[in-house]
Structure 1
Amino acid sequence: MQHGPAVRRRKLGAELRALRTRTGLTSGEAARLVGWHQSKVSRIETGASGVKPSDVRLLLDAYRVSDPELRELLLMLAGSDDGIGRHHWWHAYRGVLPPAYRDFISLESQASAMRTLETSVVPGLLQTPEYARAVTRAAVRGLRDEPDERLDALVQVRLARQEVLRARPPLRLSAVLDEAVLRREVGGPEVMERQLLRLLEAARLPQVRIQVLPFSAGAHIGITGPFVIFSFPRTSDLDVVVLDHMTSSLYLERKEDLEAYVEAFNSLQAHALSPEESLDHIAGIVDGA
């Protein structure tokens, strides 16, 4: 298990090593091409040290990588600040966002697909402003003593994240929601009703799949807690599982961990209501059934 920055270094290094190998270069030959010592290439490829976006560009040029999507993804992993559009909007909120949250957003912004199990609250990408404010106020430690400006900024970030669902191409979101998510009254009855209606609206988008895991399903494999699986375009080697804790997030990158969580998510989907049945279930809660 690693924290976000370490995972990104390791994944970036592994991909750069694969690209070098594909071109038939040794690490020493690659180093000579860009004017470095061989040990620098080795440290980058093993994730032992960070790497500047400018150095990544040198390597990508040396390896004749011209695909703009792949280049942008690898530069994101290096922490590139010169991206455009939605990929780097969160830098304006550096003063209020913890590093782990910034890492999560950067991964979310570049992912092609996201699978998530939620056991307590509606996923951030599907929250209404009022619901997001209530959740943020309750979740962030000491926030009740913080100025309203900080709360406003954190809510703005949560809502800005939702742009990934409207991007071209959009993020594909598959969410399994424990029924407790729908029954827990967050922000009061009116706020909760609007949130449930928002779920019904979002579920009709072609890129969004929502399934409800009803109480009648009993104990299930996800009962130990929520998780997120990010998948990335072009290479599954960058896929990662994120586990949230009270004060930090843990990132799982090993192949066996990824396979275990993908299998768990598939099992949860099989035990959950179908998307159509889930819509009916949510509508029934709204109607008081």
Structure 2
Amino acid sequence: MTAMPRPNGEQSSLRHYLDRPQIGPTALRVLLGGRLRRLRQERGITRVQAGKEIRASDAKITRLERGQVGFKQRDVADLLTLYHVVDEAERADYVEMARQASLPGWWHRYNDVLESWFELHVGLEEAASLIRTYEVQFLPGLLQTPEYARVVTRLGYPDAPESKINRLVELRMERQRLLTRDGAPRLWAVVDEAVLRRPFGGPEVVRHQMEHLMEIAELPNVTLQIAPFSVGAMAAAGTPITILRFSEPDLPDKVYLENLTGAVYLDKQEEIDQYSLIMDRLVTEANPPQEAATYLESLIKQYS
């Protein structure tokens, strides 16, 4: 079998990621899926052919290549053989990446309540260097107080037992730890004015939430803007948007669009460009970040 030619530095770049455990298993899963997709395409092999090699459907190959599900080490080895990758050191790195990508992240402690479609987002959030988000109904989960989070979580799960609500709120609070850790990502949040005007939980909950926003917006890696009711229709988006950016060149930006029963992940360049343009317009038309504190202070007075 003839070894397929690899670009210079391919093997060493794999090792680079394996030597950085802080990237996390979810990001490694996405990296691995992207590398294997590129190998498959370079060899002119279809998803159907790849699926047959590991006794899976072409739809599963799609999910694997998008990083939505994990690889078995045996399947990675079989695919590498199909893709004519014979260098033992390179194969070992791919298999090791599959092993590390299957390790549980901290969020796996919440598998009893964590929706499968949200698990990918939590893992990618951990690896992101920049999180840009626009919210039209609720405050971003990374900025919520426990009391506010409890109220809005109950709205999403009206019939859930209190134990599940407690776990979901606990998960949300754990996610927020990334904002104050070493190497924290930058969070740029644009919040629709209507979000701040909804009195979720009553005056005391709202007041504490506004005070928390003022405090967290002081962090050097957090930028908060408020999009007033007057924001232009060209800039306004009718749905929440989150764009995740990563410092690793092999990890493409991800657009995360959440709805009531699931979420959509977009990573095609034309889709990323479209939503990035929307975010850019929102940032331009929203009130400047330095005006957020004054607006929040006025709301605190209203609810005092």
Q: Do they fold alike, i.e. is TM over 0.5?
A: yes
Describe the shift of the 1:79–1:136 C-alpha distance in structure 2 as closer, same or farther (beyond 3 A).
farther
Q: CA deviation at 1:237?
A: 4.5
- Which amino acid is 2:114 matched to? L
Q: CA deviation at 1:89?
A: 1.0
* Structure 2 equivalent of residue 123 of structure 1: 140
* Structure 1 equivalent of residue 34 of structure 2: 14
* Structure 2 equivalent of residue 4 of structure 1: none
Deviations along 1:97-116, whole A, 9 cap, x unmatched?
A: 11012122111112111100
Q: CA deviation at 1:81?
A: 1.5
* Structure 2 equivalent of residue 102 of structure 1: 119
Describe the shift of the 1:163–1:49 C-alpha distance in structure 2 as closer, same or farther (beyond 3 A).
closer
Please tell me whether the aligned partners of residues 230 and 241 of structure 1 are also in contact (alpha carbons under 8 angstroms): yes
Match status 1:187 vs 2:207 = no
- Which amino acid is 1:180 matched to? A
* Structure 2 equivalent of residue 173 of structure 1: 187
Within 5 A, what are the aligned runs for 1:80-99?
A: 80-81=102-103, 88-99=105-116
Unaligned stretches of 5+ in structure 2?
A: 1-26, 45-49, 65-69, 81-86
Describe the shift of the 1:27–1:186 C-alpha distance in structure 2 as closer, same or farther (beyond 3 A).
same
Aligned CA-pair RMSD:
3.6
Unaligned stretches of 5+ in structure 1?
A: 1-6, 29-35, 83-87
Describe the shift of the 1:17–1:151 C-alpha distance in structure 2 as closer, same or farther (beyond 3 A).
closer
Describe the SS at the equivalent of 2:230.
Answer: helix
Describe the shift of the 1:105–1:10 C-alpha distance in structure 2 as closer, same or farther (beyond 3 A).
closer
Describe the shift of the 1:222–1:75 C-alpha distance in structure 2 as closer, same or farther (beyond 3 A).
farther
Match status 1:52 vs 2:52 = no
Provide the aligned length of Structure 1 versus Structure 2: 254
Describe the shift of the 1:55–1:27 C-alpha distance in structure 2 as closer, same or farther (beyond 3 A).
farther
Please tell me whether the aligned partners of residues 29 and 98 of structure 2 are also in contact (alpha carbons under 8 angstroms): no
Describe the shift of the 1:216–1:27 C-alpha distance in structure 2 as closer, same or farther (beyond 3 A).
closer
Provide the rounded CA distance (Å) in 1 between the counterparts of 2:202 and 2:244.
32
Within 5 A, what are the aligned runs for 1:199-218?
A: 199-218=213-232
* Structure 2 equivalent of residue 31 of structure 1: none
Describe the shift of the 1:213–1:16 C-alpha distance in structure 2 as closer, same or farther (beyond 3 A).
same
Q: 2:237 aligns with which of 216, 223, 233?
A: 223
* Structure 2 equivalent of residue 32 of structure 1: none
Provide the rounded CA distance (Å) in 1 between the counterparts of 2:290 and 2:88.
48
- Which amino acid is 1:212 matched to? I
Higher relative contact order (CA 8 A, sep 6+): 1
Match status 1:112 vs 2:115 = no
Q: 1:283 aligns with which of 297, 301, 304?
A: 297
Q: CA deviation at 1:232?
A: 1.4
Please tell me whether the aligned partners of residues 9 and 49 of structure 1 are also in contact (alpha carbons under 8 angstroms): no
Give TM-score, length-normalised by structure 1: 0.75
Please tell me whether the aligned partners of residues 117 and 227 of structure 1 are also in contact (alpha carbons under 8 angstroms): yes
Provide the rounded CA distance (Å) in 1 between the counterparts of 2:92 and 2:225.
40
Q: CA deviation at 1:96?
A: 1.4
Describe the SS at the equivalent of 1:215.
Answer: coil
Please tell me whether the aligned partners of residues 12 and 47 of structure 1 are also in contact (alpha carbons under 8 angstroms): no
Identity of aligned residues (%): 36
Describe the shift of the 1:148–1:271 C-alpha distance in structure 2 as closer, same or farther (beyond 3 A).
same
Q: CA deviation at 1:222?
A: 2.8
Please tell me whether the aligned partners of residues 56 and 75 of structure 1 are also in contact (alpha carbons under 8 angstroms): no
Provide the rounded CA distance (Å) in 1 between the counterparts of 2:137 and 2:192.
7
Give TM-score, length-normalised by structure 2: 0.72
